[in-house]
Each structure stands twice: as structure tokens, then as C-alpha cells.
Amino acid sequence: MSTINLKLKAIACIAYLGFFPAVQAQTKPQRTIIIMMDGFGESYYRNSEMPNLNKIEKKGIYKVVPSLMPAVTNVNNVAIATGTTPATNGITGNVYYNVSKGVEEYIESPSLVMAPTIFQRAKEQGVKSALFSSKKKTIDVLGTYADITLCPECDNAKTAKWLTDLGTPPDVYSKDISYWIFKAAIKTIKEEPEVGLIYIHSTDYPMHMWAPEEKDSKDFLNHIDQLIGELIKAAPDACILMTADHGMNHKTLGVDLTQVCKRKNTPVKISISPEKDRYMKHHKGLGGSAYVYLNTPSDAAAVKKTLLETEGVEAVLTREEAAKKYELMPSRIGDFMVIGNKSTVFGDLAGKETETLDQHYRSHGSPYEANVPVFIYNALKAPKASYFDFNYKIAAWLYK
């Protein structure tokens, strides 16, 4: 072989070896920031000054779509993080009735999630991830495969890594906790470029406390918008996906369905509010839907009649009807699913049948809170806008 041919082959080999890492770099998944804004119904967005989010809306994909029922955090957060409905992932509330034990239990164990999370999918593709949440239950349920996890109640929240820059975590019942979580995400984005997936879950405490038109609500969301601007500045090439789990409405009537059925001589085993969690100051454990468990199947007709005659009840679905309509796992819901009207919530009222709620009381859980905005910004490989017909699909296409 001539000297010239050998030189040409050597040059070609060097060029190939130099190009190959560049090709690999180009195929690395785009850095992605997912923002799950708890309680962020469209009315909150439209009533607040949010210029950074306005830009995202105009430059990307923006839609208002259904969220999943019951319209509570665990149901939608797990659905968003798995890209599946409750029929597949098994999460049908913030609590569920453990039939084998005969007790109501909080959903706080990852063992209850029956579908792979986005953190697991990312890990399988070699992508490091971080989960930042204002609520410990989110870390407990979804954090198994995340490389970094943080919440105000987590053991690591007061370590030097976070205290130095962020300070002591604010009280969980405050709007400041969401700022703290966002700042933790921004810190990670700046300091740890190898983290390719960042999931941020804020608190809906401000939405429970204030209506969209109130000053405190507007101030909160304007501050969040500033932090979104900082996120974009810190990671200008990142894909940003943002949605909510539910909206929020003022409620005037609380109803304890267990007590109502007892008085009407149609007793039930238990009635539970899927909204109930450990953050009772948010909602008193009351929500716009309920699961009712019968003592015996033969009670069904009488109990259904009592429920339908109860003030505030808009619909009563059988287990089969509810599972089909709302894509719920049948084994994790009641014999009946009760749906409230726009102003009614259900739950334990400590022996009372009904309660007139405070003029400032706000909650969710019904179909009236099951519509939320979605924002898809700078997503290089995102599906077309028509794909995003539910909130849970916002990240379902990633790492597949």
C-alpha cells in the first residue's frame, strides 16, 4: 500500500473517531424540567402576572385539558410521573381502603405504584434525575429511582448541601415552601449539569387559602413566574413541561356520607374521601368525591337511594361504572363512587352529618376541578399538540 493511501486512511480514522463522540452527544436525551404546579387551575394563571409563563405559552404548546378523577394530588401526580391512568398504576386517591386489613390507609408506599415511573425509565437510559417536592408523600411514593430527592420534611433538608444556599425549609403550610423547592431545583441545575431530569412539585396551600383574584394568590404566582424565568436562564436548552393535578373551588357544604347512611337506616362499612392526606390544614380531609363500601352486596339498592337523595350529591356510580368512566383500578375503589356538585365536599365530620363551611374554604376532588393547563416548551422531540389530551400525557412520551 502506498504511503499516500496509508496517510489518507489514518486521516479518515482520526476524523471518524473525532466525530463519533459528537454523534453520541447529539443523541443524549434533552435535559428536561417537569413542573407539577399543585392546584394550578387556569383561573389562577389568567388572574396573575406571569410574563415568563406567557412567553412559554406563545412559543410552545398550550392547552387546557382534563385531569384525572378523583381530582386529587396522588392520583394525578403518579399518573404524570408514570404516564398512565389509575387503571394501570393503581393509585386512586391520597388514601385507600385496605380491604384485607379493614382499615383506611394513606398512600405513601412505592409498592402501591404498579407502573414504572419516569425516574425509573430515565435511569434505564443512563439519565440522572432529581425530584423536588413540597410534600413528603410525593418523595415516599415516587422517589425510589431518583438520584436526588428533597422535601422540607425529608431528613436531608437540613444538611449543609441545602442549608448553605437555601436556608432552613419554610413551614409546609406556607407559600414560601414552593419558592424553596424551586430554588433547590435551580441550584441543582446550575451545579450538577449531569442531572438530565428535574421534577418539581409545588404546594397547593396558597390555592386552598386564596381565590385567583386575591392579592396573596397573585403575589405567589408572580414570584413563581420569576423562578420559572430563573430556571430558563439556568438551562436555556432544556425542555420545560408544566401542568397541574387539579384546580380549586370554594365549597360551602361538607357531608359525612357514613353518618347520613346511618341515620337513614342504610348503614355502610365505610365512606372515604380520596382527598384526605396528612396535610389537614389544606382541606380538613374533605373532597369533592367519595368511595363508599357496602356491608353486603344486598344493601346496594337501598344505599344508592339514600346517597342519591343526599344534598350535594350529583351522581352515584357503581364500581364498574366508575372504573370505566374514570379509568380507575376496580380493586382500589369502593362499591360506589359518589360525585359532589360544585359546592359540596365529603369526608369525616366527627359524628356530624353536615357542616356549613367557612366563606374562605376552598377544596377540590370533583370533576369541577378536573381541568388544568399544560405547557410544552422547547421540547425537541415532543409529539404533536393533539397528543396532549390529558395532563398525565405531558411526559408519557419521554425515555421510551
- The pLDDT tens digits of the residues spanning 264-317 come to 999 999 999 999 988 877 788 899 999 999 999 999 999 999 999 999 999 999
Neighbour count for residue 252 (Cβ, 10 Å): 15
| 15-68: pLDDT as tens digits | 444 444 444 444 789 999 999 999 999 999 999 999 999 999 999 999 999 999
Selection from 203, 193, 40 nearest residue 132 by Cα: 203
Neighbour count for residue 367 (Cβ, 10 Å): 20
pLDDT band with cut points at 50, 70 and 90 for residue 13? very low
What is the average pLDDT value for the chain, to the nearest integer? Answer: 93
Please state at what angle helix 176-191 crosses helix 215-234, rounded to 10 degrees. 0
Residue 184, pLDDT score: 97
Bridge partners for 229 per DSSP: none
Q: Compute CA distances 374 → 52, 184, 237, 265, 371, whole Å.
A: 15, 23, 19, 46, 10
Q: Which CATH superfamily is domain 250-363 in?
A: Domain 2, Phosphonoacetate Hydrolase (3.30.1360.110)
Helix (H) / strand (E) containing 316: strand 313-318
Residue 23, pLDDT score: 42
Bridge partners for 35 per DSSP: 200, 242
Placement of cell 413563581 in the chain: 224
Q: How far apart are CA 297 and CA 222, in angstroms?
A: 52
Average of pLDDT values for 88-107? 93
Neighbour count for residue 99 (Cβ, 10 Å): 11
| 160-212: pLDDT as tens digits | 999 998 999 999 899 999 999 999 999 999 999 999 999 999 999 999 999 99
Domain boundaries along the sequence of the chain: 29-247+370-394, 250-363
Please state at what angle helix 215-234 crosses helix 51-59, rounded to 10 degrees. 60
Q: Compute CA distances 231 → 35, 77, 186, 255, whole Å.
A: 11, 21, 6, 43
Placement of cell 410521573 in the chain: 81
DSSP character at residue 387: G
Q: Which CATH superfamily is domain 29-247+370-394 in?
A: Alkaline Phosphatase, subunit A (3.40.720.10)
